[in-house]
Structure 1
Amino acid sequence: MGLTSRSLVYTVGFAAVLCVALMVWVWPRLAKRNLLSVLGRLGAILLTQLMIITTVLLAVNSSLGFFGTWNQLLGRVDKAPVNVYEQVPANGPAAMVNESKNGLVQPTGDEGLSHVGGIPRGPEAKTGRVDSVRIVGRRSQAVNPAYVYLPPQYFQPQYQRARFPVMVVISGYPGGRKSVAQHLKVPETAAKLLADNKMQPTIVVMLSPTIAQPRDTECVDVPGGPQAETFFTKDLPEALRSAYRVGHDATAWGVLGYSSGGTCSLELAMRAPEVYPAAAALSGDYKLDNDIATGNLFGSGEQGKQNKREHDLMWRLQNKPAPRVSVLVTSSRHGEKNFDATQKFLKAVKDPMKAATIILPEGSHHFSTWRREIAPVMTWMSQQLTFPQDAQDAPKKK
């Protein structure tokens, strides 16, 4: 039985119940005051506690996916290189950040950056820089903290008139920008890929999928509630263009994320391909559902049902024209719950939409897996984005 299988949880849970029953039954027989009886009582207590604790740990791991397979639990992690495979569609070939004039990007000081390993430190023209800012949404009226990675080329004279491509990296829930920087190691990975000439100079923006903490807004415009989709598709690009030399054309923009951030990335690209024509999802899902953290995302009545269908990506592929976007999705044959759904999604992709995939032999819903995937994912996305774009026609950004 697999480590995350419900059968294993039920089997061990039944064994725990059986141990409790047996201890109750044999306890009177172990009531004597001799060494053997004392050892018997201790053994019964330890065995029962062990089975109960094991059941709880297995249930938690099955739900949250800390370890996807027995090999991962035992530390036998596959470190082989990860490859991206292009999917063939069914019907075709496969200086300081200053507050902007509108106050849309505002510096926030250190904000935990000094405690994040792998952050570029040194001369900006050689190492790049990471800014801690908050993004103010003019339409959504939301404020979302972000880290912004600026590559060394951003500060070099020969690139002073260039507009740079943008990767928006969205964390899972309840993570945030620090999870992307510290645990996913995005700035460190970007710097290494640049040094190895595997990625073009790119501005990387790291932030949370929710704009109304602690509610999980899942990048959705909630009827009568937070307008998360508006923030990501309208406010965020507007704010970044007001403060940085970023590409004006959509071909310079891509979005990626892990877990619910990956789901958001696919949703944003397929619902707004004119904003994000490239997206990557590490262990993402392909539809959205209400839960205790999200509340009601879609509204009520027939309109609410339609809103929910509109956020089901399989429904969109089957009922709407395929968007002109390129997507990359990842999963694992063993240890990831989204493997079957990923296969169905890839089979449903059709022109002009393009898809690529990373499928590991085994993995889990955890940073140990996503850190293996992030470098090839960022390399792939860099190949989708246009650079440079001339900034001669626009005011000079610092």
Structure 2
Amino acid sequence: MLKPYACHPEASRGRLHPESISTFRSPFQRDRDRIIHSSAFRRLKHKTQVFVEHEGDYYRTRLTHTIEVAQVARTIANALGLNTDLAEAVALSHDLGHPPFGHTGEDALHELMAPYGGFDHNAQALRIVTRLEKHYANFDGLNLTWETLEGMAKHNGPITGPLSYALAEVNAEWDLELHTNASAEAQVAAVADDCAYNHHDLHDGLRAGLFTEDDLCELPVIGECFAEVDRLHPGLEPMRRRHEALRRVFGVMVEDVIAVAQNRLTSLNPQSVDDIRAMEGPIIRFSKPLYQNIKAIKSFLFTRMYRAPSVVVERKRVTGMVNALFPLFLEQPELLPEDWQDDVARARIRGGDITSAEGKTEMARVVLDYVAGMTDRFAIQEYHRLIGPEG
């Protein structure tokens, strides 16, 4: 049974392009299914999380990360009486806009797009599901419900600053009430993202040899989990010991979120999803003590993993690829694939002279859509084909 403050599918604000109601699936189930069947979702299997996709079979990709986030989101949403299908839909869509090479690629595209309206992977995800997926006869995009689009836009909190052109375009067509909180389901997806990547980055960093279990035992929460495993299972073989300890870390995070949310929901007693949207700050979050402990873990990961010397070398290499491909396509859009030439033609009509500021902006947005959609392996392949071997 859904709580009063959950998103009830029968009360959905609907879709931008009206459709008949499905016989067997709720609107949010249809959203989830459309996301899973999208081209952008399939490409996540070859997009990096931290390590470039080809570096090892066991490291997380954007796809495996997304599946883990969706699993955590369903668990939390179910425990809180929220709509699990909506929480899952937002979780499954939250990284659709990531370019190749993870945050490294995003940083590069953010700089390259600075003169042309900026780049943000959340806004790009919205552009994908409202514009770039072109499979349906009656509309571009996936025609998702308002609630799923709202969750994609605001799962990390209200948006009050300047909007990227991609987000402004979507919001102008259908007001997502960016100044308010998102639904509790979308907030669950955001916290599930934190739980998932903090957990799996510890696994991946250990597997990569960037730090050891002894290093992790110096950190809050993690050290206690290893100590508990050693007490319950003395002499356990190393890989099992690692897994047992880190799954306990995962459990600590998830259980903390559920307990805090249950207490806050009982205390504040919201009676509708609009009560959730109107609150000061999120209703779904970590407790203050655990949040401080997670900050310490994140700080460790930033230094020892995200900015490890070997990772920095790879960041520099792939940044160079993005920095070479983007201006090449911008100056020679005829190099884009044939099925992108209609977009090139429309950009020329809208912007006029390609050498003018307006013309370059229109073309840059087409190039961005193409480059941001690349997988790691395809970006590397295109660099070698168009520019040559790495020096």
Report the structure number with the largest CA radius of gyration: 1
- Give the TM-score normalised by the residue count of structure 1: 0.26
Which of the pair is proportionally richer in helix?
2
- Give the TM-score normalised by the residue count of structure 2: 0.26
